[in-house]
């Protein structure tokens, strides 16, 4: 019996793990259960950790008292299996072939992009509150991209109402668009305000904000010069290539900027269909 789950931040903080339904009846009455984690720290050498756990029912049944390896991030996938012959629970992570950096956070193990998007801690700045609304409250797709109706931002961001709130919201959205985090796209919403991109027939047309995660290769810890996955609060970001919403194309300006960046050896990649270029810019906290 084997099941695969994505870890949420609450799982990591609380030291818990979901229990496959098939083994609940067998294990729920046991005071102590042997749980073994097989894990490659930072994708390196394999190691095992052994815990004495038990079951607790919250909304669902969970294994408790787990000390997760510190390099695990929200969204990492774990395979949980009950081995009756060994009378133990096995929990395994799967290392990526190469580490990846998702919006500044380094991942060394296979992950669910949808959970990564939902669990991202955007911070308390104005732009962070807008990004939080899009990623936490919007519609998230399997690749981690998300859409949110721009008309719903004012009620979801907590930036205040009236002229001042509108000013702060507009500036935050414009900054995120300049930084390449968000793109305005035409879509639709259903009767409950749930967004759809591309627009669905019969639904009300709406202007949406589209978020796409920036995924790029990450160094191993011994190759990195600074803190792993650090999100510097106030810094310059070099130009980079970012995925566009499905069906969208880069503007002539972005194509020209990309050509210049290639000529100046700032980027080495060709601009593949469905991608755009975000020029070097200043990113604040």
pLDDT, mean of residues 272-280: 68
Model confidence pLDDT, tens digit, residues 228-270: 444 444 445 556 666 676 666 666 776 777 677 766 666 666 7
3-class SS of residue 98: strand
Order of strands across the sheet with 17-18?
A: 17-18, 61-63, 55-57
Q: According to the model, what pLDDT value does residue 255 have? A: 72
Q: According to the model, what pLDDT value does residue 227 have? A: 43
What is the percent of the chain with per-residue pLDDT over 70, rounded to a whole number? 82
**Exposure b/e, 167-183, CB count within 10 A at least 16 = b:** ebbeebbebbeebbbbb
For the record, the structure tokens of 39 come out as 């894990």
For the record, the structure tokens of 174 come out as 């414009």
> In whole angstroms, what is the distance from residue 137 CA to residue 118 CA?
8
> In whole angstroms, what is the distance from residue 213 CA to residue 203 CA?
27
Model confidence pLDDT, tens digit, residues 120-152: 887 889 999 999 999 999 999 999 999 999 999
DSSP summary character for residue 43: G
Where is pLDDT greater, at 268 or 214? Answer: 214
DSSP summary character for residue 122: -
Q: According to the model, what pLDDT value does residue 229 have? A: 42
pTM: 0.78
How many CB atoms within 10 Å of residue 52?
A: 10
pLDDT, mean of residues 214-225: 77
Model confidence pLDDT, tens digit, residues 18-30: 999 999 998 988 9
> In whole angstroms, what is the distance from residue 236 CA to residue 94 CA?
34
Q: According to the model, what pLDDT value does residue 37 have? A: 97
- Ordered by where they begin, the domains of the chain are 2-101+107-111 (2.40.330), 122-220 (1.10.10), 236-285 (no CATH)
pLDDT, mean of residues 69-88: 92
């Amino acid at each position: 019996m084997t099941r695969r789950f994505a870890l949420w931040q609450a799982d990591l903080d609380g030291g818990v793990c979901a229990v496959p339904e098939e083994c609940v009846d067998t294990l729920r009455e046991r005071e102590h259960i042997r749980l073994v984690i097989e894990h490659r720290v930072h994708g390196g050498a394999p190691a095992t950790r052994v815990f004495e756990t038990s079951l607790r029912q919250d909304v669902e049944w969970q294994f408790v008292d787990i000390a997760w390896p510190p390099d695990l991030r929200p969204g990492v996938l774990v395979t949980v299996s009950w081995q009756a012959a060994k009378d133990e629970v096995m929990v395994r992570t799967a290392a990526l072939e190469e580490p990846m950096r998702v919006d500044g956070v380094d991942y060394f193990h296979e992950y669910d992009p949808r959970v990564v998007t939902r669990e991202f801690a955007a911070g308390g700045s104005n732009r962070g509150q807008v990004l939080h609304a899009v990623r936490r409250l919007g519609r998230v797709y399997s690749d981690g991209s998300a859409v949110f109706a721009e008309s719903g931002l004012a009620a979801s961001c907590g930036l205040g109402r009236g002229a001042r709130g509108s000013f702060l919201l507009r500036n935050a959205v414009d900054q995120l668009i300049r930084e390449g985090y968000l793109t305005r796209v035409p879509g639709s919403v259903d009767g409950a305000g749930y967004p759809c991109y591309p627009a669905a027939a019969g639904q009300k047309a709406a202007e949406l904000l589209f978020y796409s995660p920036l995924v790029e290769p990450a160094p191993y810890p011994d190759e990195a010069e600074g803190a792993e996955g650090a999100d510097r609060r106030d810094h310059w970001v070099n130009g980079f290539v970012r995925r566009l919403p499905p069906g969208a194309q880069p503007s002539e300006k972005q194509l020209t900027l990309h050509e210049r960046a290639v000529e100046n050896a700032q980027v080495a990649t060709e601009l593949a269909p469905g991608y755009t270029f975000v020029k070097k810019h200043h990113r604040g906290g």
